[in-house]
Structure 1
Amino acid sequence: GIGSEGVEHLVTLLRTSNGRRLDLNLNNNPLTAASAAPLSQLMCADSPMMIQSLHLSHCQLGNEGMRVLCNNAVVSSSLHSNGVEFLDVSHNGIEEAGAKALAASLYDRDSGKTGWESLRMLKLSGNNIGVNGVKALAACLQKPSTTTTTTTATTATDTATTTTATDVSESSSMWEGNTCLEVLDLSQTNCGEGAAVLLLECCSLKKLRLFNNSFGTNGMTHIATEIKTAPCSLEELDVGGNNADASTMVNLLDAIGSNQFMVDAAKLRVLEIGGNDSSEGVEHAIKMLQQKLPRLDVARDKPRGPRSN
């Protein structure tokens, strides 16, 4: 591998290449956090080189390397609008702290500032981000918010005043948050079903991969319950490799078919359920769902993940 010193030389060379958009692949190089600072120079506003895709899988960046990259993204985002559209930091030893740094750079609610403002695709697979790290990511993405307004009528009597609700109306608005991210890969991140369901409501997401997160039957039951009413606008959803039993997978398929928002929008095109138990009941549920969503492809080719306890 080229290592940290090699990255510095590479960055120096690339900064002399004027006006180009670059797909930079440094996968499987032991870069560590020390390499993040020179790499981040390529994302600065005064850099003549613009990185379009940045591949950093298996580079040992860790939490500190992620923090350095993310801090630069926030600083540079207000100065130029073109930047990284695809970021792969899978298998880098990133944990909760690194995920929270990334979430803060995607959208900081205190300042209202968005970093990585061109980022469309993000791969975080193989990092032990955990439940709280994924919750932080979900919190920074835009979701629908429902506000309920109640109108009351008050009637006075000699002994008491009675307040009666006469009209309840709901109006939907959008939370503030990052609206750019469209593809999120959280395979093998130990994300937990409680955090996963929060992502179902993220408006910008079109593709969500939750492969091999050891949801098991209990976790998939939770997801099935939540997806039944979630305002989910996904085009692709991967819940493969999670070892849920067949009856739970039937419940998941039925829940999607019962979600009128998803049926009316008809956006879901690919549903990956391989690596969970199957049965004749699952196949029947797939056929019933495809009657409501005729363009839906239900894939069953994922391997099994490790059994959850």
Structure 2
Amino acid sequence: MNTAVAKFDKIPSDESFVNSDEILQYLANNIAQIEKIHCSHVFQNEDVAKLHTILFENHEIVKLRSLKLPKNGLTTESVPSLARIIQQTELLREIDLSDNEIKPEGLSFLLNHALLLPTCLLESIHLSNNKLGPKGASVIASLLRAEHSLRELSLSHNSFGRSIKSMGLYLGRLVRLDLSQNKLGDRGAHIIGEVLAAPECLLEVLDLSNNKIGYSGAYHLADAFIKGHNKSLQILNLMDNNIETEGAEAFGVVLKFSHTLRELNLSRNSIGDNGVRLIAQGIIENEDTCLQSLDVSWNGIKDAGAGFLAEMLMQNSALTHLNLKCNFICDSGMKVLAESLKADMALEVLNLVGNQMRDPSPFIHVVCCHPIKLKTLYFEQNVLTDEAENQLHAAFAFRENKKGWLGKILRDIKEKKMICFDLTKKRHGDEELLAIMVSLAKFKPCVTSASFGGSMVSCRSVGRLSECVVAANEVNLQRLYIKDTPLGFNGAVALAKALLKNTTIRCLSLKRCDLGEGSLQIARALADNASLLRLDLEGNSIGDLGFQEICKSVFTDSKNHPSLISLNVANNRINDAGLSHLHCITKLEDLRLDGNRITDMAALDIAKAVMGHSSLKWLCLRNTDITWKGVRALTLFLHTPLVLDADCGLDDSTKH
């Protein structure tokens, strides 16, 4: 669906416009402040006449420099008004009439009544997609022959074909030229080649995409560089021209000799691995290359081609952007590309979208462990798992964090300051935690508290934490908080083994860590850990079996856990059966059972466990299925200091 666009630079406004009349009224009221007008899908021929009237009546205060009216369906009928606007707007330097219906006769009128006048100082004209054809090419040729200020001309999608010959060498007077989608063929490329070869050529930016020039046309274009005449062209777009390997060979030679070309787009040209080899070889052999951007996307490149490009990257200090989107590069090719990034080279942006990468570890390693200059890696639409994509994102985040907050933590550790790090509000993952763990193991400072979590943290880094911090007992870690981290069974096992050896942690919180059956391992470790004071396992779906195992380790008829005073098992899918193992509580002060599936039957088990003991100070039963009857029964057995936190409708007078 076409959407109307109206933009006016230099006006800080929240105005919204429904039709052209509103736009014109706004212009009339604010014309003295407007330097750029951009309207599409909204103006008609008569609106251009009204715009001229506004500009003419306010000519003394008009500051308009850019007028863009693309996609408005304007016809030759609008041309007289356009001509008068160009004549009478002294500061106008750019006009865009792309995607309209201006015929050659309309363009001729515009030429004779505006563009050829000495008062016309236009520097940029956009006439793309007006179907000008051969007749329009002749009019453009007349414009180019005249002495004028024109520097940029956009003529894409005008079906010029061989008629481009009428413009000839005059095209070389321009600085920027867009001739894309004009069916130029190899003969048209020959003409453009002659333009580029002329010593007086000024062209710096040339777009010849989608012109079917083939390998023969590529050779014609290459001649301008091979013969050493062209010293001006900096940006060349040859996308979708089917130049194949033979055409790539021609541009491999171009890249060997060119000292001005900064950007080359060879996308969608079927050059394959052999074509890439020739391109890469040309870049390698040019010690003074200025090429900063190379686009070889959609070219059927496989691992061998990636190898040629990797070799080129290791010997190149100029290329900053490389686009390999939608090729067939697999892990073997990805590995050599990643290895090449270690070299002292300039590459900042690498596009690998739509290839066959499965294993991101080579890129993760090089990003995290080497001082490379790569800032952006595009890797969507490969065959990566969600976890692998998260690891890649985390690798780049790690590098940025190392320059900021992570770097500060690592410096504090090195200086053996007392550490208390909270990462819960910072974007972090395994790489950050692994760096911290390595540093802690090396320098052994005192760590009072550690808090972290999130989807980018996995059992990989938690396993290292368990081994070199929790089990080692060398940094005096007292409080450990992990939240919203998919630890799973393996992460729980690693922590459980560490808790068997730990003697310093007083508070352990594992909220929403997907422990599942791993909670059994944590529970069994509690029986042999005599230092833990507070345990928080909220939101881990430990179920009845998990809670029963905790009860065996913490609550027994003969002996309670020697140190535990606070237990949180809220939101864990515990039913009445789970509480049947809740035996005598003698040391626990806080117990949270909220958010579980317990009923009035469980209230009796709770009452038996706490009856006659004064240590429990707070019991939370919110969001359970216990009714006011169960709460009333509980109150008969609870001692006075205990606070019962429930939400079943009893008034405060019935609660202790």
Please state whether the residue corresponding to 2:453 is helix, strand or coil.
Answer: coil
> Unmatched 5+ residue regions in structure 1?
1-29, 143-176, 258-262, 305-309
Equivalence map 1:71-82=2 (5 Å): 71-77=438-444, 80=445
Match of 2:571 in 1: 241
Mapped to 2, the partners of 1:178 and 1:222 lie a distance apart of: 20
- Give the partner amino acid of 1:60: R
> Any conservation in 1 of the 2:414–2:439 contact (CA below 8 Å)?
no
Bigger mean CA deviation after superposition, 34-43 or 181-190: 34-43
Residue 179 in structure 1 maps to residue 520 in structure 2: no
Q: Tell me the amino acid that sits aligned with residue 55 of structure 1.
A: D
TM-score (norm 2): 0.31
Cα separation, 2, equivalents of 1:31 and 1:295: 50
User: What corresponds to 1:188 in structure 2?
Assistant: 512
Give CA-to-partner distance per residue, 1:134-169, whole Å, 9 cap, x none.
221121224xxxxxxxxxxxxxxxxxxxxxxxxxxx
Letter in 1 for 2:622: D
Q: Which of 605, 610, 614 pairs up with 1:290? A: 610
Superposition deviation, residue 106 in structure 1: 1.6
From the superposition, tell whether residues 302 and 137 of structure 1 become closer, same or farther in structure 2 (CA, over 3 Å).
Answer: farther
CA positional deviation for 1:32: 3.4
Q: Give the Å deviation of 1:228.
A: 5.1
Aligned twin of 2:422: 55
**Could you tell me how far 1:97 is from its partner in structure 2?**
0.7
CA contact (8 A) 1:99 1:133 kept: yes
Residue 619 of structure 2: SS of its match in structure 1?
strand
The 1:303–1:72 alpha-carbon spacing in structure 2 relative to 1, beyond 3 Å, is farther
CA–CA separation in structure 2 for the residues paired with 1:205 and 1:242: 21
- Report the residue type matching 1:56 in the other structure: L
Structure number with higher strand proportion? 1
1:150-205 deviation line (CA, Å, top 9, x unaligned): xxxxxxxxxxxxxxxxxxxxxxxxxxx22111111111111133223134222221
AA at the equivalent of 2:589:
R
Match of 1:67 among 411, 416, 434: 434
Given residue 185 of structure 1, which amino acid in structure 2 is its aligned partner?
A: S
Query: Following the alignment from structure 1 to structure 2, what is the Cα–Cα distance between the partners of residues 45 and 65?
Result: 16
Q: How does 1:5-84 map to 2 (within 5 A)?
A: 32-34=397-399, 35=401, 38-46=407-415, 50-77=417-444, 80=445, 83-84=446-447
Task: Mark the CA change 1:114 to 1:295 in structure 2 (over 3 Å): closer, same or farther.
Answer: closer
Is the Cα–Cα contact under 8 Å of residues 560 and 587 in structure 2 kept in the other structure?
Answer: no
Cα distance change on mapping 1:125 and 1:276 into 2, 3 Å: same
How far did 1:218 drift? 4.2
Deviations 1:94-115 (A, max 9, x none): 111111010112255xxxx434
Structure 2 counterpart of 1:200: 526
| 1:222, distance to aligned residue in structure 2 (A) | 4.3
1:225–1:235 distance in 2 versus 1, CA, 3 Å: closer
Change in CA separation of 1:228 and 1:131 when aligned onto 2, cut-off 3 Å: same
Partner AA of 1:64 in structure 2: E
Give the aligned partner of residue 130 of structure 1: 488
Residues 463, 494 of structure 2: 8 Å contact kept: yes
The alignment partner of 1:140 has SS state of: helix
- Structure 1 pair 199/275, CA: closer, same or farther in 2 (3 Å)? farther
Q: CA deviation at 1:224?
A: 4.2
Q: Provide the aligned C-alpha RMSD in A.
A: 2.8
Change (3 A) 1:218 1:119: closer
Q: Which runs of 5+ in 2 are unaligned?
A: 1-394, 626-656
Q: Percent identity over the alignment?
A: 20
TM-score, normalising length from structure 1? Answer: 0.63
TM-aligned CA distance change 1:252 to 1:240, over 3 Å = farther
Highest RCO, 1 vs 2 (Cα 8 Å, sep ≥ 6): 1
Deviation (angstroms), 1:281: 2.3
Which structure has more helix as a fraction of its residues? 2
Q: CA deviation at 1:275?
A: 1.0
Aligned to 2:281: none
